Amino acid sequence: MIVIDGKKTAQDIRAELAAEVSAATAAGRRAPGLAVILVGEDPASQVYVRNKEKGCAEAGIASFAYRLPADTKQQDLLQLIEECNSRPDVDGILLQLPLPKGLDAQACLLAIDPAKDVDGFHPENVGRLSLGLPGFVSCTPAGVMELLRRYNLSTRGKKAVVVGRSDIVGKPLALLLTRSGEFGDATVTICHSRTPDLAAECRSADFLFLAIGRPRLITGDMVRQGAVVIDVGINRTSDGLCGDADYESVSAKASAITPVPGGVGPMTIAMLLMNTVQSWRQRTA
């Protein structure tokens, strides 16, 4: 049984990006830049933003932090986004969600230049993904695909079940798995809270992807012997963080599994950095 090490993989990616960036800056090119916009004082968002800034520093990416008060006006936020859109040293714009009450997240996301939308939330990038065109892919599903690639877990011709249909994880992940290629070409079923027999669907999976947000909902009896289980869930319980899979019973059945923490989680920031560097490559080519 393989325990998929997302922490180590994310470190490898950061080191690869750092090497590329330092070679380019030594040759006189400017460093990649990420604008990070945080509105309000949500404690979880503050932690995420700090980690993203730390990740940038490690990869040699300049981060430009904008910390705005919770009572920021929509107009002022839109104006800041506009400023970031036109700054030549900004390759990516990250608007940390959720926004405080009174601000329209959808309108703000729409205002971000799709060519700097390193979170992949702009409808243009979502449309590009669904059409199979190049564009930015939401970081968590992109991180899942990167783990499959780096562990050489080919989904071609396999049965994949994605539990969860959110716009940021389940849906884009299902789209990526149906693309053609070694790490695509899967036959995909999307399950959600109204799926009648979740256990039977899960048991049909060669590859089981969990993006539910329910601690230990998926138990070993719901998993096919030898399945690959990718657990995106991050749940806070009284005994610490856990995934959507009951790790003990599921890992006894799986051929490969991502632990929580240390699986998919660290990949999300790594993919944000990768998207920023990709944007920078295009803009400085």
Structure tokens at 236: 């806070």
The answer to the question of residue 250 lying near ligand NAD (CB under 6 A) is no
Residue nearest to ligand NAD (CB): 166
Cis peptide before 100 (omega within 30 of 0): no
Element (H, E) at 163: strand 159-163
SS3 44: helix
* Of residues 59 and 267, the one with the C-beta less far from ligand NAD: 267
Q: How far is the CB of 164 from ligand NAD (least distance, A)?
A: 4
> Does 261 engage in binding with ligand NAD (CB under 6 A)?
no
Q: Which is closer to ligand NAD, CB of 84 or CB of 271?
A: 271
Q: Return the number of the residue (40 or 164) whose C-beta is nearest ligand NAD.
A: 164
Question: Least CB distance from residue 86 to ligand NAD, whole Å?
Answer: 30
Beta-strand pair 235-237/240-242: antiparallel
Between the CA of residue 125 and those of 32, 134, 143, 146, 276, what are the distances in Å? 20, 8, 17, 18, 14
Asked if 159 and 205 count as a contact pair (C-beta separation under 8 A), the reply is yes
6 is in an annotated binding site: no
Nearest to 159 by CA among 232, 247, 226: 226
The number of C-alpha atoms within 13 Å of 46 and in the hemisphere containing its C-beta is: 8
CA atoms within 13 A on the CB side of 103: 23
257 belongs to an annotated ligand binding site: no
Which of residues 66 and 209 has its CB atom nearest to ligand NAD in the complex?
209
Q: Which of residues 73-132 bind ligand NAD (CB under 6 A)?
A: none
The interface region with ligand NAD, picked from 19-27, 48-56, 124-132, 262-270 by CB under 6 A, is: 262-270
Q: Which of residues 181-210 bind ligand NAD (CB under 6 A)?
A: 191-193, 195, 198
- Residues 208-247 within binding reach of ligand NAD (CB under 6 A): 211-214, 217, 232-235
Q: How far is the CB of 180 from ligand NAD (least distance, A)?
A: 25
Kindly write down the DSSP assignment for every residue of 171-240, as one continuous string.
HHHHHHHHSSSTT---EEEEE-TT-TTHHHHHHT-SEEEE----TT-B-GGGS-TT-EEEE---EEETTE
In whole angstroms, the minimum distance from the beta carbon of 195 to ligand NAD comes to: 6
Within its chain, how far is the Cα of 193 from the centroid?
22
143 is in an annotated binding site: no
- Annotated ligand binding at 165? The verdict is yes
**Choice from 268, 275, 278, 279 touching ligand NAD (CB under 6 A):** 268
Which position has the token pair 């393989």?
2
Catalytic residues: 52, 96, 119
Name residues contacting ligand NAD, limited to 155-174 (CB under 6 A).
Answer: 163-166, 168-170
Q: Whose Cβ is closer to ligand NAD: residue 80's or residue 144's?
A: 144
- Residues within the annotated binding site for NADP(+)? 164-166, 234
**Residues within the interface to ligand NAD (CB under 6 A):** 140, 163-166, 168-170, 191-193, 195, 198, 211-214, 217, 232-235, 264-265, 268
